[in-house]
């Protein structure tokens, strides 16, 4: 049976770091329209730090160790809004994965749900407020419904796209009111990207 191992999770973080680096300027531009133009920088820096810390763990680290190291490194590298949100997300995923050396791939949707819970707990946002939760919450719901990673990722993507129609009531964009409409939330867009990378990384049975 295909499994998520700590090595494989480390590779997932490397893929996340690569993706965020590639999308840095796109995310900054999105944030520039309704926020302060730095979301791409925060995500690229945070994931690079997370990936580095995960890779630096000694032999024998558990899945939870990997998530915890990533959480701490992301938070300390970034701060901002993304820092506490993703740090909490990773800590919750680590708790869900537990101090184990493997987890069946089929169970990995529970990690997505755990991350979403962490983000909701830390940010106290409600769906519909035009934040990253609008990608994470539907993804978590799909996960709890038993959807597979591909379907979860599609739902997250749709959630991010839907933020374009929302009026922000939380975060920097909240002061924009009507003017926030018509633009996707950068945090939701990066969230969909993250979920897509995880889905891709945890779908291949061979773990390559």
- Which residues here bind ligand ADP, judged by CB under 6 A? 31, 35-36, 38-39, 42, 80-82, 85, 119, 123, 125, 131-133, 170-172, 185-188
Which DSSP helix (H) or strand (E) runs through 20?
Answer: helix 6-22
Residue 182 lies near other proteins (rule: CB under 8 A)? no
Q: Residue from 32, 52, 127, 207 that binds other proteins (CB under 8 A)?
A: 32
Least Å from the CB of residue 32 to other proteins: 5
Residue 179 lies near other proteins (rule: CB under 8 A)? yes
Query: Nearest CA to 150 among 190, 203, 110, 108?
Result: 203
How far apart CA 47 and CA 179 sit, in angstroms, is: 30
- Distances 207 to 30, 104, 143 between C-alpha atoms, Å: 33, 12, 21
How far apart CA 53 and CA 66 sit, in angstroms, is: 8
State the binding partner of 187 from other proteins, Mg ion, ligand ADP, none, CB within 5 to 8 A by kind.
ligand ADP
State the binding partner of 28 from ligand ADP, other proteins, Mg ion, none, CB within 5 to 8 A by kind.
other proteins
Give residues with Cβ within 8 angstroms of 122, minimum separation 6. Answer: 84, 85, 88, 89
3-class DSSP state of 28: helix
Residue 33 lies near other proteins (rule: CB under 8 A)? yes
Q: Residue from 13, 24, 31, 64 that binds Mg ion (CB under 5 A)?
A: 31
Least Å from the CB of residue 111 to other proteins: 22
Least Å from the CB of residue 196 to ligand ADP: 16
């Amino acid at each position: 049976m295909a499994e998520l191992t700590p090595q494989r999770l480390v590779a997932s973080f490397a893929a996340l770091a690569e993706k965020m680096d590639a999308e840095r300027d796109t995310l900054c531009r999105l944030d520039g329209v309704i926020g302060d133009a730095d979301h791409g920088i925060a995500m690229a820096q945070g994931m690079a730090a997370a990936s580095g810390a995960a890779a630096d763990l000694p032999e024998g680290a558990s899945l939870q160790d990997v998530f915890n190291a990533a959480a701490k490194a992301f938070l300390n590298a970034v701060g901002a809004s993304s820092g506490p949100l993703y740090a909490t997300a990773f800590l919750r995923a680590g708790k869900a994965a537990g101090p184990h050396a493997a987890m069946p791939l089929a169970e990995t949707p529970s990690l997505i749900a755990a991350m979403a819970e962490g983000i909701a707990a830390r940010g106290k946002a409600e769906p519909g407020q035009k934040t990253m939760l609008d990608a994470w919450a539907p993804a978590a719901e799909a996960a709890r419904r038993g959807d597979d990673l591909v379907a979860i990722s599609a739902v997250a993507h749709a959630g991010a796209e839907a933020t374009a129609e929302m009026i922000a009531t939380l975060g920097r964009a909240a002061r924009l009111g009507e003017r926030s409409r018509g633009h996707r939330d950068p945090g939701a867009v990066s969230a969909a990207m993250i979920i897509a990378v995880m889905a891709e990384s945890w779908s291949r049975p061979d773990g390559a």
